[in-house]
A = this chain, B = another copy of it.
Amino acid sequence: MKRYLISFAYDATNYHGYQKQPNLKTVQSEIERALFEINNNKKVIIHSASRTDKGVHALDQKAHFDLDVTITPYKLKRALNSKLPNDIHINNAEEVNNDFHARYLAIKKEYVYILNMGEYNPIERNIVYQYNKKLDTEEIKKAIKYFEGEHDFISFVSAEDKKDNNIRTIYETSVKVLNDKLYIRFVGSGFLKYQVRNMVGTLIEVGSGKRKKEDIASIFKAKDRRKAGKTAKPEGLYLSKVFYK
């Protein structure tokens, strides 16, 4: 038995999210179906770094799994890509130690949110959030700094998904404007369900003048999801990197 780590990209448009669900087409179930064939029709369960929500894309998601058959990483990548639909792509495969774990050993993750402030773009409708209005990006650049550091993110977590410990650390943020597009980037120790989309939704409200950037400090203090902004649409969000030691 050998353990493998794959990195992969997907267009989430036609899936019910990453995680396996009965009778629904998900990214995980597509990859497990392909691995089942490669593994001589023996079931394979994959463990991903992140379970992205419905509509959220990945540029470089990671997952590990064990195979009974012996196959070189190069051939594994090729075999998987030949069996996967064209909206999922394996970027890389490698052999790892038997105690490697794609989720538990991830030390940082990077998410990028892309938003179009210009005219509606039909060509990018599923891969860039079509906000289609101007935003005060200078205010957003200042506001995002409030998220940096260690915080209890309970006000930015979906109510049904609170954990015992909602403390996470955001190591790095950036906001870039290119043509009419806004790129909002977070690098953190880990992210709770809807956390990135709720932070982005709050930043959009700052950029549209609906809120002040200082509100973010009060939202943290309130420890109340209802104080934060609306959850931003999923199609603008990308899991872009997962870091290991």
Contacts and interface: CB of A to CB of B under 8 A. Distances in A.
Interface stretch (A67-75, A117-125, A207-215, A216-224): A117-125
Interface residues of chain A: helix, strand, loop or mixed (majority): mixed
A89, A91, A125, most chain B CB atoms within 10 A: A89
A9 interface: yes
Contacts of A125: 11, 86-87
A127 B122 contact: no
Contacts of A88: 122
Contacts of A57: 123
A10 interface: yes
A57 B121 CA distance: 12
Nearest to A123: B11
A121 B9 CA distance: 7
Contacts of A11: 122-123, 125
A10 to B, nearest CB: 6
Interface string A1-12: 000000001110
Nearest to A13: B123
Contact of A89 (B9, B87, B91, B121): B121
Given A9-B123, A86-B122, A89-B122, 14 more contacts: A9-B119, A9-B121, A9-B122, A10-B123, A11-B122, A11-B125, A81-B120, A86-B125, A87-B122, A87-B123, A87-B125, A89-B120, A123-B127, A124-B127
19 contacts: A9-B119, A9-B121, A9-B122, A9-B123, A10-B122, A10-B123, A11-B122, A11-B125, A59-B123, A81-B120, A86-B125, A87-B123, A87-B125, A88-B122, A89-B119, A89-B120, A89-B121, A123-B127, A124-B127
